[in-house]
Structure 1
């Protein structure tokens, strides 16, 4: 082997040195490195588990928030619907109240018109009676006493009323 340029005692010494170095490294460096790698692996795994838990909690929180938001939305819609119903009812009540007031005003106006009409008819009858008496007095050339006058007026008005009905 020396012809190939290999020094056998040097090679054996190198192999022994390498084995001793491996044994020393295994005792001194390999176990602490493995321990450190195991700790780091555990820490990474725990961090991943914590991140997964946080992700699940966030998902659950988001779902809870969406449920609460939907409940609030429904409650808001219910409040709006209720407010619309109250508004419609108030409009209807106001409309009914206005209708009642209008009916009362119309009835009062009709009553007043009826009273005015009756008053005007009474005045016309009185004027008619006065004119009739005056005309009759001139025709007869005499004056009637109040009782005869009233009787004559009533008869004429009854006849005039009968004629108006026919």
Structure 2
């Protein structure tokens, strides 16, 4: 999303400023922080307090997507400089064909993912707009978000407890994995 992130180096002092800002209030839009500080989404996520995030190698992307396919309705989000698209529905299980991981089959969520470009999975649990949020962020080699999957909510906007448990299990299992 952020071309500036690949052309500008951010000073250690500026990263310390971002860490302090996120430590004081981590509820903002992460892509906006990336743009403001001219860094990648991965860098912003790494600047979150440690208790808010865990990283895992992208090689686990298919396994994570297959796990999420059993969760029920989630929110799939794609955020570019010009648009934020959200789809609330179950994420269908996919399969590889023609160089893509293909999802579809009756769900409003369908498409063709280049999972080979997923370098890092970022599990993020933090406050957002006055509520708890949990997301799995699929980050490419440039550290930018390919897409995100958020734990679903009930009619009162509370996170679905069973999905939080499954999200937490993935975090615990994969968040300890070696990351490059």
Same fold by TM (over 0.5)? no
Structure number with higher helix proportion: 1
TM-score, normalised to structure 1, is 0.21
Higher Rg: 1
- TM-score computed with the length of structure 2 as normaliser: 0.20
